[in-house]
């Protein structure tokens, strides 16, 4: 039986706190040397188990490094399922708590944490809780700031709508665009509805559906039919085109979105480009990171 999500989170946090406590002698010795403040960046992605999807995350990391030359950039995955899966393949990705504990052990005193999630859901709030728990521990990281996910404020949503639309290739006449979001029971799921309204102001043939909540694909199919659209372009509304995009959205199984749309008579093509690989959208995450880094000086 899989342990409850909350239990998994607190176990990871306790493990990180233990690691930080064990590192205290080394940190104290470093402090005695009068070491100067050390600033770093931690990017936190949901994660992916598909090698072909990692490029979007690597690109965001490279952009963060370019925006802050000389500032070390670390990476963490918030999804325990993804971390466990890739660990079996010999790939190590830290949980946010462990990554921060590692940075404390390396002597970092100021860290800007940037979420690479689309909405401020449960995993983002877990990042906030982790940062608050680890910030200010004796001889540890004195200040931790956290940058917001992509769709966090009304201004974010307007900017994201514009960036998403300008990043999409041209569609044929009579062709709609359906964006696949992850979806969550968390109240932050409302960000998808807010983004939908902004997209409709600019293009009424663009729709959002989610894998795990509302609106679902069936809702969108009805809207496509009402507009008389005969073709559909599918694209992920996620930082990477990972398992959901390649299998649940564009896969060949009968229950994939592509197959379900084809069964309803639509011509379907998929664009497997994650938001992190769309420069106009990636720029918005980097702007959030810049604000988080600026907040370290406040």
Residue 73 sits in a domain whose CATH number is 3.40.50.1400
pLDDT tens across 26-60, in order?
Answer: 444 444 455 678 999 999 999 999 999 999 999 99
What local confidence, expressed as pLDDT, does residue 3 receive? 46
My answer on whether 264 and 180 are in the same domain is yes
Q: Is the pLDDT of residue 176 over 60?
A: yes
pLDDT tens across 235-258, in order?
Answer: 999 999 999 999 999 999 999 999
Q: Is the pLDDT of residue 181 over 50?
A: yes
My answer on whether 68 and 111 are in the same domain is yes
My answer on whether 43 and 133 are in the same domain is yes
My answer on whether 81 and 105 are in the same domain is yes
My answer on whether 200 and 103 are in the same domain is no
My answer on whether 164 and 258 are in the same domain is yes
My answer on whether 145 and 283 are in the same domain is yes
Write the burial class of residue 230 (CB in 10 Å: 0-12 exposed, 13-18 middle, 19+ buried): middle
Q: Is the pLDDT of residue 100 over 50?
A: yes
DSSP code string of 77-143? E--HHHHHHHHTTT---B-HHHHHHHHHHTT--EEEEEE--SS--HHHHHHHHHHHHHTT-TTS-SE
Helix, strand or coil for residue 284? helix
Domain that holds residue 94: 5-149+279-295
In the chain, the number of structural domains is 2
Read off the pLDDT of each residue in 166-185 and give the average, rounded to a whole number: 95
What local confidence, expressed as pLDDT, does residue 30 receive? 47
State the pTM of this model: 0.87
Contacts of 182 (CB under 8 A, 6+ apart): 46, 118, 210, 211, 212, 238, 244
Q: Is the pLDDT of residue 25 over 80?
A: no
| From 117, 182, 244, 288, the catalytic residue | 182
C-alpha dihedral sign at 277, 278, 280, 284: negative
Distance between CA 185 and CA 108 in Å, rounded? 35
Measure CA 33 to chain center. 38
**135 and 141 in contact (C-beta within 8 Å)?**
yes
My answer on whether 27 and 99 are in the same domain is yes
Contacts of 67 (CB under 8 A, 6+ apart): 286, 289, 290
My answer on whether 17 and 50 are in the same domain is yes
Cis omega (within 30 of 0) for bond into 215: yes
Contacts of 169 (CB under 8 A, 6+ apart): 271
**What own/partner pairs with CB < 8 Å and gap ≥ 24 does 77-80 have?**
77/44, 77/45, 77/46, 77/47, 78/44, 78/45, 78/46, 78/47, 78/117, 78/123, 78/126, 78/127, 79/46, 79/47, 79/123, 80/8, 80/12
Name the one residue in this structure whose structure tokens are 């979105």: 257
My answer on whether 22 and 102 are in the same domain is yes
**288 noted as active-site residue:** no
My answer on whether 81 and 107 are in the same domain is yes
My answer on whether 265 and 290 are in the same domain is no
Read off the pLDDT of each residue in 284-291 and give the average, rounded to a whole number: 98
């Amino acid at each position: 039986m899989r342990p409850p999500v909350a239990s998994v989170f607190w176990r990871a946090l306790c493990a990180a706190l233990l690691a930080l406590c064990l590192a205290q002698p080394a940190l104290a010795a470093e402090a005695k040397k009068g070491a100067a403040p050390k600033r770093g960046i931690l990017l936190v992605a949901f994660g992916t188990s598909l090698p072909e999807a990692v490029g979007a995350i690597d690109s965001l990391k490279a952009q963060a490094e370019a925006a802050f030359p000389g500032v070390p950039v670390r990476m963490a995955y918030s999804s325990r399922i993804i971390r466990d899966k890739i660990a079996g393949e010999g790939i190590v990705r830290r949980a946010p708590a462990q990554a921060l504990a590692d940075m404390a052990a390396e002597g970092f005193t100021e860290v800007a944490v940037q979420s690479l999630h689309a909405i401020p859901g449960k995993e983002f709030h877990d990042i906030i809780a982790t940062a608050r728990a680890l910030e200010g521990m004796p001889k540890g990281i004195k200040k931790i700031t956290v940058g917001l996910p992509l769709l966090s404020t009304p201004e974010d949503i307007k900017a994201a709508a514009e960036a998403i639309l300008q990043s999409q290739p041209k569609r044929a006449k009579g062709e709609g665009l359906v964006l696949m979001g992850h979806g969550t029971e968390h109240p932050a799921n409302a960000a998808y509805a807010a983004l939908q309204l902004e997209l409709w102001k600019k293009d009424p043939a663009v729709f959002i559906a989610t894998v795990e909540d509302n609106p679902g694909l069936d809702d969108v199919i009805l809207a496509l039919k009402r507009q008389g659209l005969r073709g559909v372009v599918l694209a992920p509304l996620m930082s990477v085109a990972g398992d959901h995009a390649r299998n649940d959205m564009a896969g060949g199984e009968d229950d994939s979105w592509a197959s379900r749309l084809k069964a309803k008579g639509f011509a379907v093509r998929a664009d497997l480009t994650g938001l992190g690989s769309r420069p106009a959208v990636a720029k918005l995450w980097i702007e959030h990171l810049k604000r988080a880094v600026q907040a370290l000086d406040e």
